[in-house]
Amino acid sequence: MTSQHLVLVLPTTAEFDSRTYRIATGVLARGHQVTVMARWRVGLAEDEVHPAGYRIRRIRVSARNGLPGANLVQPMLRFVRRRRATEPATGMSTPPKARPPTPDEPVAAGRSGTLGRLRRAKDATFRLASIVLVVRSQVRNTRAAAPVADLYHGMAYMGIPVALDLGRRHRAPVVYDARDIYVDAGNLARLPRPVRALIGRWERGWARRADRVVTVNRPYAEVMASRWGVPPPLIVLNCSYRFVPPDPRERRFHDALGLRSSERVVLYQGGFSRDRGIEQLIEAIASVPDAVLVLMGYGSLQVDLERRAGDPATGGRVRILPAVPPDELLAWVASADVVAMPIQPSTLNHRLTTPNKLFEAMAAGVPVVASDLPGMAGIVRESGAGLLVDPTDTAAIAGALREILASEEEREAVGRRALAAAHETYNWERQLALLLDEYGRLTGRLW
């Protein structure tokens, strides 16, 4: 089999992206070359080799750099700043100007009435401009750094335009990995309808220009095919590699946090963002005896969550740990007693989601308490991997946690069912085979 080169394009730093890690390691194991093109931030290497063996190149990206004529504008701004620094102080202070939100920040709700609508319209305009400029910056700066490859795989709606640019320049096929219904997810879902429609139109154009669209579950695939007028996307579930949990079970959370041996660990791991059910879990844990809620991850809510965890009212029953790299994650998850994911039905994307954490819990042999929503309910029921709840009902969440934690024997039985389903059906080895077959169809050579 001839060695080929895959380039994965991300709109993130690639530190904690499990799907990227799994694709890269799977392709690498087949004897191919893999480069991940990601975004740089302070404290990270611009060019490094991941311990698994693939290369990560991080690109400096900013909205300012995406401005037309940025090569002229930025030196002028630096000149103005130097001149101001040399001017004598006047004793008067000028209030700082509000900056536009970055693509990852929520749009302010604003005030009610006409003033509120104008405020929201201004914030949405800044948000839209920021998205355009950041994408433009990443496209421009990636061109000089990305290698020539046999196939370019663009992640998410801010990664695919970069991948399409590289594919066009090097005459290589491009895959669009649409991992969410983006205009109905997160902060984009809260933008005004005309702005969302415009972003949706851009995404539809990108999807049609890609040689293949890939997504993470059947409900998403059906929505995307209908909205974009493309063939049904290839479904590559976000499953984990097959994993054998340590026996006896490790107590990583107890060791890291100094927990009593009798305390059980309810784990939420993933993004600290709105509508993921974190607030409901914090309220529910108060009604679950001898249990601690561990929040492991990072995101926009981190400062608020740290404040709540430190509030004496929580009684020390909410603890926070940083995210861990994908190659360490399953060992940590396997140390929990139950994994909770009461994702809220606030958007179409959330109602249809099959989150990574569901498959990671199954791979680690740990029972789940999950939202009774169309995306994940069928998998939980079919596999017997845990309990489904109304995610808006904190009493129901607490009751499900108590039920799973009440009997160690039953908890272990549920964990064994989850692990068996992961080994037989919901594993990355099976999903990777589907993806590599598609890569082969696109390049005309086996992967």
Model confidence pLDDT, tens digit, residues 353-409: 999 999 999 999 999 999 999 999 999 999 999 999 999 999 999 999 999 999 999
Q: Check whether 340 has a pLDDT greater than 90.
A: yes
Identity of the highest mean pLDDT range in 59-73, 87-101, 103-117, 295-309 = 295-309
Round to whole Å and give the CA distance between 357 and 393.
Answer: 21
Scored b (16 or more CB within 10 A) or e, 323-338 reads: bbebeebbebbbbbbb
Rounded Cα gap, residues 75 and 60, in angstroms: 17
Q: Are 376 and 393 in contact (CB under 8 A)?
A: no
Q: What is the pLDDT of residue 122?
A: 79
Q: Identify the burial level of 30 via C-beta atoms within 10 angstroms of its C-beta, where 0-12 means exposed, 13-18 middle and 19 or more buried.
A: middle
* CATH code of the region 5-64+126-239+430-443: 3.40.50.2000
**Three-state secondary structure call for residue 101:** coil
pTM comes to 0.87
Every domain of the chain and the residues it spans: 5-64+126-239+430-443, 252-426
From edge to edge, which strands make up the β-sheet containing 368-371? 318-322, 291-298, 264-271, 338-341, 368-371, 386-389
Report how far residue 103's alpha carbon sits from residue 105's, in angstroms, rounded to the nearest whole number: 6
List 294's β-bridge partners, or say none: 267, 319
Interval 403-433: pLDDT, tens: 999 999 999 999 999 999 999 999 999 999 9
Contact 344, 189 (CB under 8 A): no
What's the pLDDT band for 95 if we cut at 50, 70, 90?
A: very low
Could you tell me the pLDDT band of residue 75, with boundaries at 50, 70 and 90? low
Letter for the amino acid at 18? S
Q: Is the distance from CB of 376 to CB of 358 less than 8 angstroms?
A: yes
Which pLDDT does position 62 carry in this prediction? 93
In angstroms, what CA-CA distances link 324 with 126, 273, 274, 317, 433? 33, 17, 21, 21, 27
Helices (H) and strands (E) in the chain, counts: 16, 14
Q: How confident is the model at residue 101 (pLDDT cuts 50, 70, 90)?
A: very low
- As beta bridge partners, residue 174 has 152
Which amino acid is present at 265?
A: V
Length of the chain (residues):
447
Burial class (CB in 10 A: 0-12, 13-18, 19+), 368: buried
- CA 38, CA 59: separation in Å to the nearest integer? 6
Other beta carbons within 10 angstroms of residue 412's beta carbon come to 13
| 30-45 pLDDT tens trace | 999 999 999 999 999 9
CATH 3.90.1150.10 fits 252-426, yes or no: no
Judge if 5-64+126-239+430-443 and 252-426 fold alike in CATH terms: yes
Whether 151 and 175 have beta carbons less than 8 Å apart is answered as yes
pLDDT of residue 99: 44
SS3 content of the chain, % helix, strand, coil (to 5): 45, 15, 40
User: What per-residue confidence (pLDDT) applies to 118?
Assistant: 73
Stretch among 8-22, 63-77, 346-360 having the lowest mean pLDDT: 63-77
Beta strands 264-271 and 338-341, pairing class: parallel
Q: Closest Cα partner for 57 from 72, 42, 36? A: 36
What average pLDDT does the structure give for the chain?
Answer: 91
